[in-house]
Amino acid sequence: MTIYDISEKAGVSIATVSRVLNGSNNVSEKTKRKVLDVMNQYGYTPNAFARGLGLNTMKTIGLMCADSSDLYMAKAIYFVEQLLRANGYDSILCCSGYDLNNMKKSMNLLISKKVDAIILIGSTYISEKDEDNKYITDAALQVPVMMLNGSLNAPNVYGILSDDYTSIYNATLYLLDSGVKDILYFHASHSYSTKRKMAGFVDAMKSRGLFKEEYLQYFPGSHEDIPAMEKHLTKLNKKGQHFQGIIAANDTLAMGAMKYARISGLNVPHDLSVIGYDNSLLTSTCDPELTSVDNKLETLCGHLIQTLMDVLGGKDMPQETVFATELIKRGTTK
C-alpha cells in the first residue's frame, strides 16, 4: 500500500495525498475527507524509509551510554527516551561499554544511521587527552552532540551537568562539621564526573588543612561487586589506614562501605559516617538509610532535551548548563 494506491483509489494525484498526509492547508475539506477515508479503509501508513530519504531525517536521536544497567544511566535513559518521544523523536540506543575503541565504533554507527543528534549519557565519554575526544568533536561536525553530565568546549556540543564539585565539597564540609575527621573519597572510575567530585573533596579537606593523599581510595573492581568493595575497605583498615567517614562517588560504592561497617562491627554513623551519590533506591535498602546527594537527574534530562530541541530548531544555546544538587540527609550521617 503506497501513496500511489491511495491516490488511485481516491481519484486524486499523489501530490494531493502527500498534502493530506502532511496536513497542508492547500487542500479542500472535501478531498481531504475522501483521501483520509481511503487511507483508513486500507490501513495505509507512509513508508518511513522513503520519507527519510526525502526529508533526510527519520526523527531519531542516537543514545550512547556505557552500560544501560547502571542505576544512574538506566534512569537517565528512561527520562530521555520519554521526553524525546514526547517531542516526536525516537531513540536508538547504543551501549558502548567503557572501552574507547568501542565508544568510537558506537559513535560511527549512530552517525552512519543518520540520527539527528547524539546524546552521550554519563561522563564516561569525556577524556583527559584531547585526541581521545576527537571522535566527539568530529561527530559534532555532523550533528549536535549533547552530553549528560559531561562537558567539552567545542562547536555544536552542549553539556548539561550537575555541580559535582560543589556537591562533594559541601558534603565533605558537612561531614567535617559533624565531627568526623579522617574521611575517604571512595570511587571506582576515573570519569570526568568522578574527578570533579574528587576535586571537591580535596579542596574541602584542604580548606581545613586535613587533606592526605591516602584518603583518595580507588576501587578497581566491578562497579556492581559490593562484597569486593567491602573487602577493599577491610584490607585498607588492616593496613592501618584509619577513617571515620566515607564519601562515595555513587550509592553502590556506599553500599560497600555499609557492608564494611557491618562486618567490622562498626556503628553507623557513630563509628563511621557514609555519604553516597545519586540518591537511588539503594538509599533505603540499608540500615540506617543512606545520606546521599540528589543529582536532580530528571531536571537535567528535561533541560537537556529542551536544549536539544532548541538547537535543532536553530536557536543559539549555551554550551554548558550546570545544576545545583541537594544533599539528602538520612541516617548514615550525624
Partner DNA sequence: TTGTATGCGTTATCAT
Partner DNA sequence: ATGATAACGCATACAA
Give the binding site for DNA (CB under 7 A).
Answer: 2-4, 11-16, 18-19, 21-22, 25-28, 30-32, 44-47, 49-51, 53-56
Query: According to CB under 8 A, which one of 6, 27, 63, 301 is a site residue for a second copy?
Result: 63
d(CA 274, CA 334): 10
> Using H for helix, E for strand and C for coil, what is the string for 255-276?
HHHHHHHHHCCCCCCCCCEEEE
- Taking the least distance from each CB to a second copy, the nearer of 108 and 207 is 108
Smallest separation, CB 57 to DNA (Å): 10
Q: Is beta strand 216-218 parallel, antiparallel or unpaired with respect to 183-187?
A: parallel
- Taking the least distance from each CB to a second copy, the nearer of 203 and 225 is 225
Does residue 246 interact with a second copy by CB under 8 A?
no
Binds 36: which of a second copy, DNA, none (CB < 5-8 Å by kind) = none
Length of the chain: 334
Which residues in the chain belong to E strands, given as ranges?
Answer: 60-65, 90-95, 117-121, 145-148, 157-162, 183-187, 216-218, 245-248, 273-277, 291-294, 320-323, 326-328
Does residue 94 interact with a second copy by CB under 8 A?
yes
Query: According to CB under 8 A, which one of 224, 298, 320, 326 is a site residue for a second copy?
Result: 224
Does residue 58 interact with a second copy by CB under 8 A?
yes
Binds 141: which of DNA, a second copy, none (CB < 5-8 Å by kind) = none
Binds 226: which of DNA, a second copy, none (CB < 5-8 Å by kind) = a second copy
Smallest separation, CB 143 to DNA (Å): 16
d(CA 256, CA 269): 15
d(CA 22, CA 12): 16
d(CA 199, CA 61): 33
Asked if 141 contacts 301 with a C-beta cutoff of 8 angstroms, the reply is: no
Binds 41: which of DNA, a second copy, none (CB < 5-8 Å by kind) = none
Paired with 326 in beta bridges are 294
Does residue 18 interact with a second copy by CB under 8 A?
no
Does residue 50 interact with a second copy by CB under 8 A?
yes
Query: According to CB under 8 A, which one of 78, 98, 218, 323 is a site residue for a second copy?
Result: 78
Query: According to CB under 8 A, which one of 93, 199, 216, 312 is a site residue for a second copy?
Result: 93
d(CA 78, CA 76): 5
Binds 104: which of DNA, a second copy, none (CB < 5-8 Å by kind) = none
Pick from 266, 316, 318, 317: nearest CA to 287: 266
Smallest separation, CB 275 to a second copy (Å): 16
SS3 321: strand
Does residue 141 interact with a second copy by CB under 8 A?
no
Asked if 3 contacts 17 with a C-beta cutoff of 8 angstroms, the reply is: yes
Asked if 225 contacts 252 with a C-beta cutoff of 8 angstroms, the reply is: no
Does residue 60 interact with a second copy by CB under 8 A?
yes
Which residues are near a second copy by CB under 8 A? 45-50, 52-53, 56, 58, 60, 63, 67-69, 71, 74-75, 77-78, 81-82, 85, 90-95, 109, 111-114, 224, 226-227, 252, 255, 258-259, 262, 281-282, 284-287
